[in-house]
Amino acid sequence: MLPKRTQVAIIGAGPSGLLLGQLLHNAGIDNVIVERRSGDYVLSRIRAGVLEQTTADLLDEAGVGTRMRREGLLHDGIELAFGGARHRIDLCGLTGKHVVIYGQTEVTHDLMDARRAFGGITAYEAADVQPHGFDTATPSITWRQEGHTRTLACEFIAGCDGYHGVSRASIPASSITSYEREYPFGWLGILADTPPVSHELIYSNHERGFALCSMRSPTRTRYYVQCSLEDRVEQWSDEAFWDELRRRLDPEAAESIVIGPSIEKSIAPLRSFVGEPMRFGRLLLAGDAAHIVPPTGAKGLNLAASDVRFLARALIEHFMDRSDAGIDGYSDTCLRRVWKAERFSWWFTSLTHRFPDTGAIGRKLQRAELDYLVGSKAASTAMAENYVGLPFEDTTYNSPFA
């Protein structure tokens, strides 16, 4: 039975919305999630699979980390391939931390199961979702479902509905500043039921373009090659993809890779985007609704999780301690971390991809930086710190130069 009122209305039933709902429920705060798609559609989306240690710890805190800890793959390093050879970045040795390979689909599944177990309300297939009155003390959201208009009064609205969602689109253009860069290429990716070519991820910088060898499990792989934005999936047969991937890998990986039929194939554009601020009265944005990163640095899901961590704590502080300090500081706190992740994702993308306008000197400079990166402990440590995820405490210091 759908209530007429809740404490927090959450728009979007992806991992950020579901995780927020779980953390709020654990603190005794009522919440309802409204999602325009079906639950099956949400689960069908193929997305990221690299979890920072802080994200894995947050899933444990939410009480949904059991299967992740059992089935996820613990990775202590990554490999950079260039010049026909691979060079390992020892993430754990340099930082004492690791990442977990566990698909976003699996995270979503675990969160859905947990929400179902405690009887949490999620309204799926909600058409024409609209937030109202978020600049007042009495916000609400409306939507159409089964031929009826539904209205849900609330105290806060959490916009967790992604880059194309209604939450950010409902904010007056004069109230938000957008920063955006679109990259002149995309990623062609496939999912295949084949064993990984390496037990760790391989990021390859090659004359023909970037390639990434990733995985979802010991028997399921995710591979990508940089492609033109004009390419279409239909132009790429499985055979053409595997041939191109092997050309961009070092000889050992190219010879040992196991190929097979793709079970999913898609092309994704790359962009960097931030919308500031992330709070508008009683509407607070989280995840892709507020920022997008190129996938090179594996930051998208992890940034969404850190937003949710800050937002959950701010809302709990409001309802339990009657303090709005966390709400008032939410946007600034998140954005300090967001911009660090944007910088890393932009840098790593610039380092590993072939750009059409940089010419021969750009390639030489890329190679020089790669040589320096793998040959310098200081440079390797800086990369490893960013890849495994900066500590949350890093966002709270006050720089004397600010």
Residues known to be catalytic: 75, 203, 295, 299, 387
How is residue 149 written in tokens?
């208009």
Tell me how far apart the alpha carbons of residues 186 and 189 are, in angstroms, rounded to a whole number.
Answer: 10
Tell me how far apart the alpha carbons of residues 366 and 137 are, in angstroms, rounded to a whole number.
Answer: 52
How is residue 397 written in tokens?
């210091």
Q: How many CB atoms lie within 10 A of CB 262?
A: 20
Residue 126 region by backbone torsions, left for phi larger than 0, else alpha for psi between -120 and 50, else beta = beta
Q: What is the sign of the dihedral through the CA atoms of 122, 128, 134 and 140?
A: negative
Query: Taking a C-beta distance cutoff of 8 angstroms, is the pair 239, 262 a contact?
Result: no
> For 230-298, where are the alpha helices, taking DSSP H only?
238-247, 251-256
How is residue 297 written in tokens?
């640095």
Query: Taking a C-beta distance cutoff of 8 angstroms, is the pair 346, 295 a contact?
Result: no
Q: What is the sign of the dihedral through the CA atoms of 220, 226, 229 and 234?
A: negative
Strands 220-227 and 177-192: antiparallel
Phi, psi angles (nearest 5°) of residue 356: -70, -20
Residue 315 region by backbone torsions, left for phi larger than 0, else alpha for psi between -120 and 50, else beta = alpha
Pick from 44, 61, 32: nearest CA to 120: 32
Tell me how far apart the alpha carbons of residues 192 and 258 are, in angstroms, rounded to a whole number.
Answer: 10
Compute CA 155 distance to the chain's CA centroid, rounded to the nearest angstrom: 27
Residue 322 region by backbone torsions, left for phi larger than 0, else alpha for psi between -120 and 50, else beta = left
